[in-house]
Amino acid sequence: MAETLRRVLNSGGAAGSGEENTAEAEPPLLLLGGHGSGKTALLFAAALEAAGEGRGPVLFLTRRPLQSLPRRIGAPLEPLRLQKIRFQYPPSTRELLRLLCSAHETRGPAPSLLLLDGLEEYLTEDPGSQEAAYLAALLLDTAAHFSHRVGSGRGCGLIVALQTQEEGDSATALQLALLQRYFPAQCWLQPDAPGPGQHCLRACLEPGGLGARAEWRVTFRQDGEMTVTPWPTQAGDTSLHKGSSSGGQP
């Protein structure tokens, strides 16, 4: 779902076009960043973008309800868009697995986009690589099932947010390397020098072989408003090409 995030970041606060988009050929995407890096806001922006495409609903999975809706994050907070976003709050790994396994039993329109926020909270209950692989495979299988229900050319996309940890945690690094095999497209969020009353990030999108790599500066004001501008590319800047599991670099 790299192109969905690309549209969100390219909009820089403008409303979505409302044009229908196919997700059939897009690989699943892993959204990576440290604590408070804006992952939830970008997921919600992607949900609004997809909700305005005239397709099916958006399924947003998270462990707990959002405390507040992010402000001015791309597509407008129109009631019709918000009504198409279905929030569900599985409180444990067991409940998440049960929800995903029962997806084939749900009725009504199939989702056009499946979002999961806070994957790390579910993985901490069963931190082994086998459990991570099983959950990742089940997420992909659920998205594939929804794609089959939606029909040819109108697949269900998948975006999962994962909080990166400090360096030196070999178990976490191994877990991340495993997840990257299931999610070939990735978007990394790295802290940038903030301005007065602002929280700034560098967003790097690796689309997994589809489309070009791209970078943006994402700025959150204290009131929650998000603005996005293209990253000023500099020759020889390789800071986002060095592997790390902590700083938001691919």
Where do the domains of the chain lie?
Answer: 34-186
For residue 225, pLDDT over 50 is answered with yes
Q: Which of the two residues, 249 and 189, has the higher pLDDT score?
A: 189
Determine the topology of domain 34-186 in CATH: Rossmann fold (3.40.50)
Q: Which helix (H) or strand (E) holds 32?
A: strand 29-33
Cα(61)–Cα(58) distance, rounded to whole angstroms?
10
Mean pLDDT check: name the lowest of 53-62, 147-156, 216-225. 147-156
DSSP letter for each residue of 211-241: S--EEEEEEEETTS-EEEEE----TT--TTS
A 10 A CB-CB count for 164 gives 25
pLDDT at 99: 95
**For the chain, what is the mean pLDDT?**
82
At residue 52 the predicted structure's pLDDT band, cuts being 50, 70 and 90, is confident
Among the ranges 22-36, 196-210, 232-246, which has the highest mean pLDDT value? Answer: 196-210
Check pLDDT > 50 for residue 209: yes
Q: 3-state class of 85 per DSSP?
A: strand
**120 or 197, which is more confident:** 120
